[in-house]
């Protein structure tokens, strides 16, 4: 009993030390979902400058990277953590899937600058390729600067055969942007932390199978549903 009495306080101390770290990890992902929701809301709040509803209505996935970083002199790279929602088998938008974006060029710039990046997936193939692992924009999937404005038709100001349209917002300006060579990959650590399941996969999130979505998980998907004209039950 004496030995057990000595061990129990040690176990409790370890649990107390680990609890804040686990809570912080989950909280970080919740903050990312809220930031993505706010970014999309702000972008779409001015219809004449937002993503055309017709494009969102016919898309298969929407990813937002709040505060992605582009850095360097000349042609710079980018790095960011983002959130993706995709259409499930019934056409509804799923709970969030976490992504990372690394490398690639966003054009000429000097210094370090924070941007919000948005990717709109026009084809199911682009989503399937991403679910299978990391892929590079412009290589496995063609990407082009997306059209902007309520009355802009998808493909009017961009390559009509592009699989993904990309946008950037910096210092209040929002416009289609060329984003070549950036690598997209699934953020498995973030997905596990957010859903509290180390075995969660993007496909299980899409199928809503074996996951326990935390409060607020539907906020981003409901916002995408709203701006894409998709009928969806939102709590």
* pLDDT score, position 182: 82
Backbone angles phi, psi at 77, to 5 degrees: -105, -175
Is residue 114 exposed (0-12), middle (13-18) or buried (19+ Cβ within 10 Å)? middle
pLDDT along the chain (235 residues), means of 10: 47 44 63 94 85 91 86 56 93 94 60 75 90 80 82 52 84 71 90 93 90 87 92 75
Domain spans of the chain, in order of start: 41-228
The counts of H helices and E strands in the chain are 6, 11
Quick: pLDDT tens for 197-228. Answer: 999 999 999 998 878 888 888 999 999 999 99
pLDDT for res 143: 83
Measure Cα distances from 61 to 2, 128, 232 in Å.
Answer: 59, 11, 15
pLDDT computed for residue 12 by the predictor: 43
Q: What is the number of other CB atoms lying within 10 angstroms of the CB of residue 206?
A: 18
pLDDT of the residue at 95: 94
What phi and psi values does residue 177 have, to the nearest 5 degrees? Answer: -140, 145
At 102 the pLDDT is 84
Residue 60: predicted pLDDT? 95
Q: Alpha-carbon Rg of the chain, whole angstroms?
A: 20
What does pTM read for this prediction?
0.80
**pLDDT given at position 158:** 47
């Amino acid at each position: 009993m004496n030995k057990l009495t000595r061990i129990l306080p040690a176990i409790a101390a370890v649990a107390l030390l680990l609890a804040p770290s686990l809570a912080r990890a989950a909280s970080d992902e919740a903050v990312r979902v809220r930031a993505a929701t706010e970014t999309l809301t702000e972008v779409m709040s001015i219809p004449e400058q937002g993503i055309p509803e017709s494009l969102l209505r016919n898309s298969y996935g929407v990813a937002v990277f709040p505060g992605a970083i582009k850095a360097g002199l000349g042609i710079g790279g980018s790095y960011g953590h983002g959130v993706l929602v995709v259409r499930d088998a019934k056409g509804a938008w799923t709970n969030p899937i976490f992504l990372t974006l690394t490398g690639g060029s966003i054009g000429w710039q000097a210094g370090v600058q924070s941007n919000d990046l948005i990717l709109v997936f026009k084809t199911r193939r682009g989503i399937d390729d991403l679910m299978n692992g990391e892929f590079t924009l412009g290589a496995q999937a063609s990407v082009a600067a997306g059209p902007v404005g309520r009355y802009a038709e998808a493909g009017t100001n961009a390559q009509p055969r592009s699989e993904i349209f990309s946008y950037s917002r910096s210092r209040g300006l929002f416009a289609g942007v060329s984003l070549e060579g950036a690598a997209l990959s699934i953020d498995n650590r973030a997905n596990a932390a957010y859903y509290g399941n180390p075995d969660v996969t993007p496909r299980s999130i899409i199928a809503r199978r074996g996951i326990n979505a935390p409060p607020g998980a539907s906020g981003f998907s409901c916002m995408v549903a709203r701006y894409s004209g998709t009928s969806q039950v939102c709590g």
